[in-house]
Structure 1
């Protein structure tokens, strides 16, 4: 375990906000009141673009640190850690200037690749944990090379780290989310680089987990309390969320619900079980991997429906779990790989005039729960046991009904992480070797709810296949 004197400054680079918060060095819990947030508004275009303004993003993040300093929260910091969204990319010119905005995971622009019959995508997936999907740099970089003349490429966390320290480097965790990492060696994969059409020297150098940088002189003057404080490499948000929720061993699955959702298991990279085609695998740090499945409809689905339906409550009040005769297939934002259902494919089946707004919300949350359950059952099989489950994230925190619904759908007890800041907490735990416990309520599945969801499952699966077929028309 690495220890640190003083508190921990965590920078959380999300899609909807950039935040700075101060954590306790003992257990990575937030210090009350020591939080500054800059809201982010991604720009979406009819061409499939989903981007962030890099300058605005970074300046907003720096403003968060200014706010923390003004309120006296940067005087006792012993470490700086980062948690960041995975999969972002920026094309850079020869001097390191940005030629593009930050291209996020939600951006659908890329190129189709025809690699011929000799390419073995299953072997590629087993080695890199990724597919040849637009989410990854193997398809993003060829597209960017066809539209501009970039000299290099980097992700949002790499550029934030460069802005703070003057060094453009990345972590094995962030690099694994690009789809170009050899998971076993921890270096860039030769075949992935060949497919992308770049050499490794055009990408950020990968530093070990124990690497630290220091703030540049400019920021040493701006925040004197941070002079000499080590800056640790960033952790991908999925890995950080797992560890921060308390899911950091191969017997525990963490279900996190933020803007999107995921179910994941952290395990040693050595002797890792063979990766099923349906799952991805990234790195947590030098010694650990995280295997899981992600879903595009979660907190964004909940927020959208409560707004569209003008619900005063975030809960589907009066609707019993598993009892709604309406079935929602939550493909509003499409699916993640390896499935390729496009956005705009969400479907409701079985609507009637006696359905209420609460029924529609309940059906959507139930559909999202069944999608997550698909991933959990694959992970059960992979690790040869019924996994324990911890729940965390803002979506979990927002709805007691949804927590109960997930517990009934999984048909097993769950533990709810009491700390909503799971990404920042996890980044601190990875950097400093902490093992935070969930520390929240324990939920036991209600037999009647479990039975109703079990009865619904067969109908849901059949209607899900219809929705997938319809999305291809």
Structure 2
């Protein structure tokens, strides 16, 4: 049986998934690694640890599926966006890998806006500390000696591909997520390079997402596969998630709800949103993805579990705090997310007037403000723990709906929504999505959508499939969730209040930040 390995290099883990030529999953392997924060605002990783995870999961996926290495058609890559690594002349890391979550460059955002007001219009990436162009400007100021030693500036995927194939290339998709690419010209933008204080020869050669590389013989032996096995560079994880769930037709959008979240739509040419709320990234040269990513997805439920609904107390103590908790027959000692969703299910939509703005980690879309902070509004004595949980879950969806509204305004009406990601598998999350978005939600059976998207790119590049559109026929739908009219009516009343409050709060985020700093 012939098969493809789709390798998804994520922020928390690398997942390698084997798919046959019909798109069916055959085997999977995953390996996690830490996200380090040695100082406030930092979000760093070890690039070589990630490389080892790529190598190990590739070997393990083949072994786990009992697959024949001689039937492997190729490797194809998905990778997290906005990663940054400086290398010396010997191609050794000068520093840890900086991830999208590293916010230490935030203070430079206003200066860059002033220095180059047209940067977003040329690059399609809102000016934000997640952006490599902002991080590079910051590094040039904060660590000038180290910055001067940088012979190469790469993403994690470029680093992995060079170690595997001994070539410095960056696919058009990853290049478009750096803030350094001129979307119209599809070359490195001179103004962005000036802001970043770097030279074009420090960056990799831009290639199509279907571009093929050759493995080094020693790497092929390490992976226990043939040296002739082609390596397809692939794209970024966000655009591949759209492809992986079959959301590439006009009028169809994808929602990803994992630790973070995103809403994205495929368009046929680069396009920008007038208020700079959305990004625009490449999938291929003639397919682009417009959308917005949020920092605060399922992470908010993790925070709720750890901070608001303690599970280290006795059942009697929990019942004293919240009778409703006991009436729902929820086991207080359980630390699972099912426990929280069972609590939330017992509360009516709208959480009896309790609204949560979920900006625990600052925010990307729609605010693009690293200083944004979370809050509860409307809290009364009648609210218990279950109300808090329900409000948190709803707040995440309200935030995504704000991104969706901007996307429809800029990219056209969306009729169909396909949801993926770990938390999108929850029936309660699905129902809240359907009710708030007022759309039917389709949940594909594919779980590893970015890895599958990488495999689809490879199947087309290698001639196994004729076009990317074939993916629409091959993605099975596991669940369909329709809006409930009574819930829709309630959310229609609450959503404007959520958005009006958010508009009022934005003027206070920087003041609060300054007050804490002082």
TM-score by length of 2: 0.84
Residue 342 of structure 1: CA displacement?
A: 3.3
Query: d(CA) in 2 for partners of 1:93 and 1:378?
Result: 42
Correspondence for 1:290: 289
Residue 107 of structure 1: CA displacement?
A: 0.3
Secondary structure in structure 2 of the residue aligned to 1:391: strand
Aligned residues of 2:244 and 2:471 also touching (Cα < 8 A): yes
The answer to whether 1:460 aligns with 2:498 is: yes
Q: Could you tell me which of 471, 490, 513 is aligned with 1:436?
A: 471
Correspondence for 1:396: 424
Q: What are the Cα deviations for residues 368-420 of structure 1, in whole angstroms up to 9, with x where unaligned?
A: 111111121222222332432111111201x2111100110011212112211
* Greater Cα offset, 409-418 or 333-342: 333-342
After the TM superposition, which residues 88-107 of structure 1 pair with which residues of structure 2 at under 5 Å, given as runs?
88-107=83-102
Secondary structure in structure 2 of the residue aligned to 1:112: helix
Q: What are the Cα deviations for residues 196-240 of structure 1, in whole angstroms up to 9, with x where unaligned?
A: 111211011111233201211112222343431111113111101
Q: Flag the 1:421–1:381 CA change in 2: closer, same or farther, 3 A.
A: same
Query: d(CA) in 1 for partners of 2:380 and 2:226?
Result: 60
Aligned residues of 1:332 and 1:343 also touching (Cα < 8 A): no
Q: Flag the 1:156–1:336 CA change in 2: closer, same or farther, 3 A.
A: same
Aligned residues of 2:252 and 2:414 also touching (Cα < 8 A): no
Query: d(CA) in 2 for partners of 1:55 and 1:417?
Result: 33
Over aligned residues, Cα RMSD in angstroms?
2.2
Q: How many corresponding residue pairs?
A: 463
Query: d(CA) in 2 for partners of 1:74 and 1:336?
Result: 43
After the TM superposition, which residues 334-413 of structure 1 pair with which residues of structure 2 at under 5 Å, given as runs?
334-336=362-364, 339-342=367-370, 345-397=373-425, 399-413=426-440
Aligned residues of 2:113 and 2:127 also touching (Cα < 8 A): no
Query: d(CA) in 2 for partners of 1:298 and 1:139?
Result: 24
* Greater Cα offset, 94-103 or 215-224: 215-224
Residue 69 of structure 1: CA displacement?
A: 4.2
Secondary structure in structure 2 of the residue aligned to 1:142: helix
Correspondence for 2:485: 447
Residue 62 of structure 1: CA displacement?
A: 1.5
Correspondence for 1:12: 8
Residue 291 of structure 1: CA displacement?
A: 0.5
Q: Flag the 1:273–1:462 CA change in 2: closer, same or farther, 3 A.
A: closer
Aligned residues of 1:347 and 1:467 also touching (Cα < 8 A): no
Structure 1 unpaired stretches of 5+: none
Aligned residues of 2:43 and 2:99 also touching (Cα < 8 A): yes
Secondary structure in structure 2 of the residue aligned to 1:43: coil
The answer to whether 1:79 aligns with 2:78 is: no
Aligned residues of 2:210 and 2:234 also touching (Cα < 8 A): no
Residue 340 of structure 1: CA displacement?
A: 4.5
Residue 354 of structure 1: CA displacement?
A: 3.3
* Greater Cα offset, 174-183 or 209-218: 209-218
Query: d(CA) in 2 for partners of 1:386 and 1:78?
Result: 36
Query: d(CA) in 2 for partners of 1:418 and 1:116?
Result: 43
Query: d(CA) in 2 for partners of 1:74 and 1:163?
Result: 24
Q: Could you tell me which of 417, 420, 426 is aligned with 2:453?
A: 426
Query: d(CA) in 1 for partners of 2:304 and 2:12?
Result: 18
The answer to whether 1:193 aligns with 2:199 is: no
TM-score by length of 1: 0.92
Structure 2 unpaired stretches of 5+: 312-334, 461-467, 512-518
Query: d(CA) in 2 for partners of 1:175 and 1:403?
Result: 33
Residue 314 of structure 1: CA displacement?
A: 4.2
Aligned residues of 2:272 and 2:280 also touching (Cα < 8 A): no
Q: Name the structure where helix makes up a greater proportion of residues.
A: 2
Q: What are the Cα deviations for residues 135-173 of structure 1, in whole angstroms up to 9, with x where unaligned?
A: 222221222233013222100011011111111211000
The answer to whether 1:279 aligns with 2:307 is: no
Secondary structure in structure 1 of the residue aligned to 2:350: coil
Q: Could you tell me which of 38, 63, 68 is aligned with 2:56?
A: 63
